Amino acid sequence: MALHVVASRAGPADKAALLTLPWSTPLEEWPEDLVVPLPRGLSRHVVRIVRAGRQTLAVKETEPDIALREYRLLRDLRRMDLPTVEPRGVVTGRTGPDGEPLPAALLTEHLQFSLPYRSLFRHGLGADNLPELVDALVVLLVRLHLADFYWGDVSLSNVLFRRSAGGFAAYLVDAETGELQPTLSARMREHDLTVAGENVFAELFDLQAGEELDPDVRAHEIVDLLAERYDALWRELTAEEEFGSAEMWRIEQRIERLNDLGFDVDELDIVTDLGGDVVRIQPKVVEAGHHSRELQALTGLGVEDAQARRLLNDLAAYTAHHDLGREDRAVVANRWFVNVYEPLVRMLPADQRGKLEPPEFFHEVLVHRWFLSERAGHEVDIFESAADYIATVLPERPDELVASD
């Protein structure tokens, strides 16, 4: 059988690099000089992270039909602007030197500065951070359900986490069991939530068995928290709200609450009774990434939504401090970007840039500045704060761009 490669958005050099990979060798036997020492999560399949030209790819062995289906599904999810890994290709028709067929390979782009949950705990994450991981998983699950996606195998193992303004953002890694539905039923959502609870419960116990998580953590309480957070966010985003016609301000209040959660409302279903005394509203189309889009429109920065909110808050403080409230906001944003953001992130030493992305470094400096100002009894300059952070905090942080597991 001839080797067949399906590759998306790859230039000639990258496609050529893909063809030079040792496809006639089982993935678990690939030479060490190809494999990148990046942490990877647990998987029922053989998975390796490799370099191919300028690309860093996660390669997963599976059946041809399953690989092609997952590849197409991930492409659909990416087109819907959902947080998943980027599919790069599928390789089928592999055979070994003895002529025996080998599994197909699904290729996805490695998500920079992302870590599987186990590596986060090995990098110092503690029990106090579990609610942040749960929140990230919940936001991902709700976003997928809003897009009528049934996951089928919700777990921490099937997610990669990126740091985002002190919290985390979760990205779907494994969509093998997923399905895009015309309309996702409540029963399918409930099944996903049940599976999430069972898998997270087992994963937490596994961490405790490996002495990577405090044995006093009660896994069932974390599972209960997951269900509570999911229900609360789903209600806020989709529930119908009823009020009197004299309380129309509640429409704007609902939209503001959704914006604070990082969601935009593209459409509202507003219904009044015959007398016009009772009003019912329900968000019809809800899109995530409100703060990210706002910041990108102002500065061109593409960051996680929580990071964007943090940067927008600093932009607002900069505007107030320099009394620029009457100026065009785009002009002020450009001044802040040129005079504050860019000079500060340039302070990040070249040999330390594998530890934090620039927007997360900026957030960390803002937090450090608050502590320094509290200790000093007055506001400390942000560039002095950055210098102190680089000298005292940054050296102790683990490298999360390239790290051995």
- 402 pLDDT more than 90: no
The pTM assigned to this predicted structure is: 0.80
Q: What is the percent of the chain where pLDDT is above 70? A: 92
**Residue 114 pLDDT greater than 90, yes or no:** no
Query: pLDDT-derived band of residue 404, with 50, 70 and 90 as boundaries?
Result: very low
Task: Say which residue, 404 or 357, is predicted with more confidence.
Answer: 357
pLDDT of 132 over the 60 cut: yes
pLDDT tops 60 at residue 39: no
Mean pLDDT of the residues in the chain: 86
- 228, pLDDT greater than 80: yes
Q: What pLDDT score does 405 carry?
A: 40
Residues 6 or more apart whose Cβ sits within 8 Å of residue 35: 48, 49, 50
Q: Which residue has the higher pLDDT, 220 or 259?
A: 220
**pLDDT reading at 49 higher than 60:** yes
Residue 126 has pLDDT above 60, yes or no: yes
How is the chain split into domains, by residue range? 4-110, 115-238, 241-288, 303-396
Say yes or no to pLDDT of 259 above 90.
Answer: no
Interval 386-401: pLDDT, tens: 999 999 999 888 776 6
pLDDT (0 to 100) of residue 151: 95
Report the C-alpha gap between 110 and 310 in whole angstroms. 26
Q: Which of 51, 55, 3 is nearest to 25 (CA)?
A: 3
Percent of the chain with pLDDT over 90: 39
Mean pLDDT, residues 333-345: 94
Note whether 4-110 and 115-238 share their fold: no
pLDDT of residue 238: 87
Average pLDDT in the 87-101 region? 88
CATH number belonging to domain 4-110? 3.30.200
Task: Please state which of the ranges 43-52, 214-223, 312-321, 346-355 shows the lowest mean pLDDT.
Answer: 43-52
- Look at the domain 115-238 and name its fold: Transferase(Phosphotransferase); domain 1 (1.10.510)
Question: Residue 77 pLDDT more than 70?
Answer: yes
pLDDT at 403 over 70: no
Span 267-295, pLDDT tens digits: 777 777 666 677 777 777 667 788 888 89
